[in-house]
Structure formats: C-alpha cells, structure tokens
Structure 1
C-alpha cells in the first residue's frame, strides 16, 4: 500500500473536501474501522457530523434533512453492516424520490468478490444495494472520485432525485489524491418542448370540466400550481407527497382525497385531467386497478418512464414541473371568468368532505380530534413526519397543510421506524421550525434508540406517540379476514419511563388543551418532548 507524504491528501480526505465543495454542511454516520481515513477529513472540516445509534436511523435522518432543506442528505457508512443497516432508509428515499448520497468503504480491491471471509465482507456490496439507488459505483482509483461525485450531484439537481451510493475500497481511501477539489457545474432541470406546451394549452382552453392531480414532483411549483388552478377553475387533488402545494383552504382544493370513491368518480367524469409530477402509483391512488379517465389526459413529469407507464396521455411533457407550468401559463394568457366552474368545484368539495366524514369509524374520529389539536398547536410552516401508523393514514387525508413539505409520510416503501429519526434530520436541517414526529407504539420501537441522538443534539423536537397496544392496522386486517390475531398484540414497555431514561421530557396529557400546550412549549426546550396519547384516552371520545 502506498504511504503518504506529510503534505499529501489521501483519497478519503479528498472525498470530504469534495463534499465541502458541493455545499454539504451535515453528514450522518457511525465511524468504523474501515472509514477512519474519511473521518480524518472530517476532523478539520466545516461539515458537521451527527452520530445516530444505528445506521438505519442515520439513513432516515438524512432523508428527513433532504426533504425539508432540498439538499441531499449525506451518510458516511462502514463496509457491510454499515450499508445494509441503512438499506431500508435508502429504499424509502428511492421510492419517494429523495436525494441521498451514501458514501461507504468496501474491502480492498484485491479482495473484491473473493469471499475470503474478510471483515464486513459482502461478495458484491455494490450489487447488493444497486436496486435501491440511481447508481452504485466502486472507486478503483482516486482519479475516478470527482466524476462519480459529479454524477451524483447531477442526479440530485438535474433529474428525478434518487439515492446514490459511492463505495471506496479501504486501500484506495489511503492512496494519494492528486485531483483538484472543485464542484462541477450543476445540471439544469429539463425544460418543456414548445409543441407539447402548445398542444396542452389547446386542450386546456377547450376543456369544460378540467381536473388537476398534483404530486410530489411539484413541491417547488406551488405558485404555478395555484395560478393554473385558478385559470382553469376546476378542482385540484394533491397526492400525500404534495400536501400543501395548493393550500388546503383554497376553494379549488379537494385535498389529498384520492382514496375516496367520490374523488375517483370526479376524475372519471372530468373531460380533461392534468397530472403534474405524479407517477400515480398504488400508494398515490389506493385502488386495485388504474384510475379511470373519461376524458383527455395531459401529463407533466421529469421522469420519462412515468410518462409512458400505465397510462397513455394525449399530451406528455417531459419537464420540470415549474418550468412546464410557467410555459403553459404564458401560452394560455389571461384567465377567463371561471365563477361557474368554481361554484361546481365548491359543491364537489363539500360532497367529498361529507362522504369522507361519514365513512369514518369511531377510531378515525378520535384520530381527527387529535389531528385537529395538532394543527392548532403548530404554525402553518410547522413540519410533521409520520410513521406507518393508523393515525397517520387518517392524517394523510384529514390533516390540512398550508405550505408544501410540511407533512411527510413514508408512502411508497412504507417503512416502520421512519417517523422519529426522519424528524430528527428535519429538525437539524430547520432548527427554527417546529417539527413533530407522529408515530405509533409499534413503529417507535424500530428506531427508539434515536431518542438518544435527539437528546444529544439538544433538539426541541416533539415525539407524539399514538398508543393502540400493537400493530393496529394489521390487527384490524386479520380480524376482518377471520385470521387469528397472531403477532399483533404486543407487550409494551413503560414508554414514559423509557423516554425519561433517554433524557426526554415525557408528557401524557389529560385533555386536548393540554396536548396543544405541550406541543407549543416544546420548541423552546433543549431536549425532546415525548407525548403519549392512548387510543382509549377519555378526552378523545
């Protein structure tokens, strides 16, 4: 192995300097014997390092940080178990189009694929993680690192964002790095084709009953979505990923009501549907089959595969959502009088809200009472990260959002344990913004150790736990199918004592007013506030 002169920079140190050049200010990771050379670079770096208590928690933290800042979340992980512990959050980030850069070590070049039983060895670590990332690259020489890093940031800035994995063999980490430390120019997002814009505008002008579906690809295009909605005067549905892109209190908003049969009927009856930034996946539409479109279909998406999969649009626009909507608005010109359409939309909105409310079970009504209290307690820009838990499923429809990126649910991959560590990452990314993790008692224990990370970082975070003594959604499904309740009724710890043992404030409110007070008081503290609400709490009846 080559030795370094006192003034030379190793590949591991150069990797950190490249991160600095690309504007990275925070990384998540647990040091390992194979990543010491990367940590040499962190020793005198302006990049802040946060240590989770498990790499899975670190991956979720990077995800949450990316969602609220718009910058890639970065993890530095050791070979083998360091990466595989983070595979679940990497999969979640892939499913939800979250930019994440995962830099790992890997066994020495002479050992790759040999299966000799080396420490942390996977016979092909890159192949093991490849299905969960945009690309995985092994750096076989330090000179390859700048291009790999440039490719990663091109994915983050110029395409549908996905996680990227770069692995550096432990012998390469120690080699001299002679390349210049500089960031390459970011890629511009794709702009729309002029003819496609003209064709789409022609359909929009002649539509009598237009409807718009907005997905997570339009998170940065709220102003344009609102302007086009008002030009059309028709209803707007947001997927869960797009909650708040159009304010929930906007008269044209049908909210995230896609699972409602009344909403699906409205989609089928529209003579034109415009879909912006959504792949219309199973977890977007919650239907056994594809949506039924009775009229024309226009799709805008940054991902070519989404434009050609499952549905056959009359006009397909491959573009960044904001750029395409700007071009459409310019092509359409001044808005005509839409008062008649707006009246129809108001009636439809009332019909759908009534149908959803009538469909709620007694437990869902309890959910709504708590969610209304949480909405009261938070400012409009307050951020909620949820886990896979029944109250969050209710909240996907019932919790109103007034700004984008304020409600985050692990929709696609559906991972238990996401909510609390992702909220930690978000709080680190937006320290002045109130952040709440809304979790269930089952999901909390997947990543409960990250309470210690939140305490160590002195975060005024709220962890709001809905306790239904087990895996409630699965339990209900078993009961409905006549299957024995196996593995769903859990013995829980004393959550309040556990939270206090970690160093959190622990509160079990006896009223909704007390809940609101606890949530509002939390951001000013130098420690997390753990709030337990039991499903059988009398004040929810």
Structure 2
C-alpha cells in the first residue's frame, strides 16, 4: 500500500467509525472478518474481545445505554451473526443504538457448502433489527454507516446491521468522506400544538406517564409536574424520571391491576415517551376514561390500541423542555390527594412482598449499600422483578433491564459494557442462577479488564418464575430445576473474587468490598439470606 490513505475497506470502516466518535468495539475476529481488524489499533479504537458473539452484542448494548453513544459489534459470517441476533433483538425492543457490522459470503446462489454459509443472512438479521443491508461497494458501506448514525441521533434508536462481502473487505478503497453534520430536530413546540398545551394547563386532575423516552429530560418532567400539581406514574424503563419523594408520584406500578382504577380518575392523561406495551402495563388497555395526549418519536406508537385523541410526533425531551418553559410559574390546583397516593403505594409494595416473599427486604438492604450514582444492569430473575416495582431510582437511565424481548443472560455482559463506558463510576449486575449460565463465560472479560464490577447472583435453585406460572396454570412443575455448579468456585476459576454472605449485614459489606476491589466479584445470594 504505497498510498497511505488507500487501505482495504475493512480497515477503512474502522477509521470511519473512529472519525464518527466510536472509541470502543466489541467482537470476535475470524477468518471472514479479519480485514475489519486490520485498522482497529491504527484508528485508535479499543477492541474488547468477547467470549461469545452474544456477549459482544450485550456489551455493545450496555455500553450504549451507559454512554448515550452507539454500541458497535464486529462479528463473522453465519454463526457469528446468528449468535448476535438475540442482542440485536433486545436492542431493537428497548430502543438502544447498536450497530452490528458483519462479513458475508461473496456469492451464495450458485455455491453450497461454503464455510459459515446461510441461506439468506441479510434477511435473517433483518427479522430482529431495524434494518439489515448488504454493502456491495465501499461507498455503500460508508453510506449505510452514516445512515445508521443519523438515525441513531434523530429517530427512535434501534439496532441496525450492515454486512460486507469478504472480497469487498479485502479490496483497496479510498477513505470515507468527512463526517456529515448531524441532522437537527426542531427545538420548540409548533403553533398547532398550542391547543394541546392549553388542555394540559386547564386540566384539574392531570396524570403524566413517563417512559424511557423521557429519561434524558427528567429535570423538565419534574418541573412540569410540580408546576401543574399533576400526579404521575413511570414505566419500568422510566424509573428515575420522577423524584422518589414527589408526594403525587405513584411509582412504577402500572402493572398492578388496580392501577387502572387510579388512571381512570384522571381528567387528562399525558403519556410521554412510552409504548404502553404489554410489558409496561400487563393489560390490553391502560384504563383511562379521559382524553389522552400521546407524545412519542415513533409514529407506530401513536397509532396503537390506546387510541390517543391527541397524538404528538415529537421527541419527548423537546416536548417536555418546551412545556416546562410554558408552564413555569403556573399555580397548579391539583385535585389529587397525596394521602391516597401514599396509601396506594404502600398497598402495592405489600402485594409485591406477598407475591415473592423475602426479596423486598434484600432489595432495601442492597439499595442502602450502593454508592451514589450506581448504574444497575439486571436480568430476567425474580430479584429484578421485585426491585422494578419497589425500588425508586434517584436518577433516570440508571437501571437497565431486558424489558421487551426478555432474554436471559443479559445482565453480566451488558454490565461489562456499561462499566467500560463508565470508567471510575459504580456499575452493578444482578442476575439469576439460570440466566448466569447463558453468558457466564464473559466473566473472563471482566477479569481481563480488571473491572470493579459486583455481580449479584440470585440463586433460588430453580426457574422460580416459571414454576410459579405453571402452578397458577395448574400444570405440575416440570423442567424447572437444573444442576448448578459451585458458583463461587467457578468465579474463582475465572480469576474473579467471590463471596457468599449469609446475613444482610454481610451482604452489604460484600457489596462495598466489591466496589473497592480491582476486579469483578461474584456475590452469591440465596433466599436463605437472613437479617
């Protein structure tokens, strides 16, 4: 390569990504995508070697949620792409900006039996992400990457997949053009929304519901609610948008069946940045009888079965900041009763404790032991299900969970990605015994990087939630118990620290010790934990 600017396309893609602000890539090299690795170090990008492509995808997801920047993963043709499809589906479901770049075979129609061959790799990936496209030229590859970056910045952020034929990755190519100027979204409410604002200001009993889309506008959301004297709920993904001590805050209790009765009391419902999906409310209809104003960046959400009378296609943060300016100084005369709010919250907390006994006190103990600003990644486990309902977050976007797609094995690798993005800031993982099996090998990455990462492993010795569901359905529990290893010895075999506290006090101390350690600590906890 006599021309220092001309490089194989695989290398140019890394340089292009670095020019667009990407400084970490998660992945695994193989003979099909090795050209993508030619330029990583030269471009100044840190590569994190996952132990499985699923782990790489979850790390990219966790990194994106923590940093607000796109998470990028490099994977090989065929099985590598298949392995990362679960994280792609999770990122799509939870609106996380993840870009997966893979190699692909040059030709598949007339040849069979090639290494890593799939019938249609592009279409397969497209079933779990926003879009999946093949770049047949260097300019096509550059254009697709820029398209992904623009959409991450201006539309609902969802996973994307770009694949490049092996021969193209190897071929010399000119560098990508300079980064394009990111598109700007309108920063003010349009005049035709004045009637919506007037309705909000005139409501006597307004109820706001904030989802994850409002997470980056919590200050404005709190200001709006305070000025109007409004009550509020948050979805699980919206926890932290509202201040826990707000006397008219109902918490993340929309999944409680009788929350529908609370919603029915409102004379105006304003849902901001939320799908109001099954995993948010666990019923077909929210329960409102009053008109609904629906604010979302995704037009599909605005046409869902909730049938909002006033759909507003707008970024939640832009809407809330503009609304906050408009209602500043308003003297909201709320008809909501703070005593009734407190009563409802206490009742719901008691219900959660009765449904899954013993977990609420452990959640309380964990919360009191955590440093300020801790970011938490949880898995599909009963510990997390309880915490999502009773644990009010001080800060938004600080508890991440595989909400929609609902995959097991998310928490450990996602927390690793989050810890990489948050160097020097506390990050924590919560995972169940069964989910830990899915991605336990990524513990080696945390050891390799020396991440001070506490991993709480909740072991109830079974698929507890599934067993409970079978019992409710009058099915004799079947296939819900698996032989577990000695998790502490397993962690130590990876080079991690391990602790198995038997009391609440010892549990809290183990958490503090783990944050001070120079590597990850697996903290093994069972329902037998006592005070």
Match of 1:296 among 286, 291, 297: 291
Are residues 1:319 and 2:327 paired?
A: no
| 1:529 equivalenced with 2:524 (yes/no) | no
Count of equivalent residues: 530
Consecutive unaligned residues of structure 1, counting only runs of 5 or more, are: none
Alpha-carbon distance in 1 for matches of 2:354, 2:275: 33
* TM-score calculated relative to the size of structure 1: 0.95
Query: What is the CA distance between 1:43 and its match in structure 2?
Result: 3.1
The corresponding residue for 2:504 is: 512
Q: Equivalents in 2 of 1:262, 1:352: separation in Å?
A: 9
For 1:164-217, what per-residue CA distance to the aligned partner results, in whole angstroms no more than 9, with x for missing partners?
Answer: 111110000111212444211112235565244311111112211110000011
Q: Give the alignment's TM-score, normalised by structure 2.
A: 0.97
Check if 1:424 corresponds to 2:422. no
- Match of 1:68? 66
Aligned-residue offset at 1:90:
0.5
Q: 1:196–1:263: structure 2 CA closer, same or farther, 3 Å change rule?
A: farther
Q: CA deviation at 1:262?
A: 3.4
Q: CA deviation at 1:291?
A: 1.4
Question: 1:132-189, CA deviations, whole angstroms, 9 ceiling, x for partnerless residues?
Answer: 2222111101121221111000111000000111111000011121244421111223
Equivalent in 32, 35, 40 of residue 34 of structure 1: 32
The 8 Å contact of residues 274 and 298 in structure 1, kept in 2 or not, is answered as: yes
Query: In structure 2, what is the equivalent of residue 334 of structure 1?
Result: 329
Equivalent of 1:207 in 192, 203, 206: 203
Structure 1 residue aligned with 2:84, among 79, 83, 86?
A: 86
Aligned to 1:374: 366
Are 1:305 and 2:300 counterparts? yes
Aligned-partner Cα distance in 2 for 1:190–1:471: 48
After TM superposition, give the deviation of residue 491 of structure 1 in Å. Answer: 1.2
The answer to whether the Cα contact below 8 Å between 1:191 and 1:320 also exists between their aligned partners in 2 is: no
Query: Equivalents in 1 of 2:74, 2:151: separation in Å?
Result: 19
| Distance across 2 between alignment mates of 1:337 and 1:292 | 24
> 1:115 touches 1:123 (CA, 8 Å); kept in 2?
no
Partner of 2:256: 260
Alignment match of 1:283 (pick from 263, 279, 288)? 279
Q: Which of 392, 399, 418 is equivalent to 2:384?
A: 392
Query: Do the aligned residues in 1 keep the contact of 2:67 with 2:422 (CA within 8 Å)?
Result: yes
1:498 is aligned to 2:490: yes
- 3-state SS, counterpart of residue 252 of structure 1: coil
**Residue pair 1:95, 1:413 contacting (<8 A) in 2 also:** yes
Using the TM superposition, name which of 92-101 and 500-509 deviates more.
500-509
Runs of 5+ unmatched residues, structure 2: none
From the superposition, tell whether residues 187 and 443 of structure 1 become closer, same or farther in structure 2 (CA, over 3 Å). same
Change (3 A) 1:68 1:147: same
Does the 8 A contact of 2:224 with 2:327 survive in 1? no
Taking the aligned partners of 1:332 and 1:362, their CA distance within structure 2 comes to: 41
Deviation at 1:19, TM superposition (A): 0.4
Q: What is the Cα-based RMSD across aligned positions, in Å?
A: 1.6
Q: 2-side partners of 1:256 and 1:134: how far apart?
A: 28
CA contact (8 A) 1:158 1:189 kept: yes
Whole-angstrom CA distance in 1 between matches of 2:117 and 2:69: 31
1:274 and 2:270 are equivalent in the alignment: yes
User: Partner of 2:162 in structure 1?
Assistant: 166
Does the CA contact (< 8 Å) of 2:27 and 2:47 recur in 1?
Answer: yes
Aligned to 1:123: 119
Residues 89-117 of structure 1: CA distance to partner in whole angstroms, max 9, x if unpaired?
11000000000010100011xx1344512
Q: Give me the whole-angstrom Cα distance separating, in 2, the residues matched to 1:169 and 1:202.
A: 55
